[in-house]
Amino acid sequence: SIFPSIYYRPINPNDLDRLEQIHRDLFPIKYESEFFRSVVNGIDIVSWAAVDRSRPEDHSDELIGFVTAKFVLAKESEIDDLIHYDSSKGEETLIYILTLGVVETYRNRGIAMSLISEVIKYASGLSLCRGVYLHVIAHNNAAILLYQRLMFRCVRRLHGFYLIKHQHFDAFLFVYFINGS
Ligand code: ACO
């Protein structure tokens, strides 16, 4: 509609079909149905949905964007060398962003920015969480500019990280450090 009103909420089981469909449309990688079930049921995964409440009733709660993420133990992560540890407080964690997407007609309005901000806000509220990190394919300029604008730091280029249709592509590893890491 002309005046969208975007809301952010957790992803729930009613989102299953739409979530799968958007992932199929947006990503060159195939995700298993097990992944989608874990997301909608919140099993080891945290997620946020964006919806446009100004759409007609039967679409006003339909996903137009999403972010999914999971917890990783900092010392078992691939960036354990970049984390500042304080063993007196307990086990440090990180949040790893699995997927982020906004449907095409809703792009360039700051929705992805808001979704990632939700993840950062959530992570910042966890005393043992040291950061948020993710991989992005090296030619995805839109996503790379978004992470740079949000003050993520590019810490690594991983050669041949992605295998898509028998072809290897590099990835960048981006990290947003929190709670003094
Ligand atoms: N070209 C250049 N910069 C862009 C673009 C673009 N097409 N899109 C976003 N940006 C950058 C800009 O810096 C922008 O800030 P500005 O508008 O003030 O200049 C900033 O990102 C924020 O843009 P948003 O409007 O918040 O981004 P949007 O809601 O359009 O979503 C996204 C961006 C998620 C990358 C979208 O294009 C998309 O869904 N793409 C397909 C799926 C994808 O690539 N997902 C990310 C993969 S990485 C991962 O999942 C971990």
Map 88-144 to HEC letters.
Answer: CCCCCEEEEEEEEEECHHHCCCCHHHHHHHHHHHHHHCCCCEEEEEEEEECCCHHHH
169's tokens: 């592509």
107 within ligand 1 shell (Cβ under 6 A): yes
126 within ligand 1 shell (Cβ under 6 A): no
- CA dist 4 and 1 (Å) reads 6
What type of residue sits at position 159? H
pLDDT at 142: 97
pLDDT at 181: 66
- Could you give the ipTM of this predicted complex? 0.94
Alpha carbon of 10 to those of 31, 97, 130, 154: distances in Å?
20, 15, 22, 28
Q: Which atom of ligand 1 is nearest to the CA of 134?
A: 51
Ligand 1 center from residue 67 Cα (angstroms): 12
Contact 112, 6 (CB under 8 A): no
Ligand 1 center from residue 146 Cα (angstroms): 5
Q: Which atom of ligand 1 is nearest to the CA of 102?
A: 39
Residue among 89, 87, 15, 92 at smallest CA distance from 51: 15
149 within ligand 1 shell (Cβ under 6 A): yes
Low-confidence ranges of the chain (pLDDT < 70): 1-2, 181
Render pLDDT for 116-132 as a digit per residue (tens, 0 to 9): 999 999 999 998 999 99
pLDDT at 1: 55
Q: 128: Cβ–Cβ under 8 A, 6 or more apart, which residues? A: 89, 90, 91, 92, 93, 179
Domains of the chain: 6-134 (3.40.630.30)
pLDDT at 76: 96
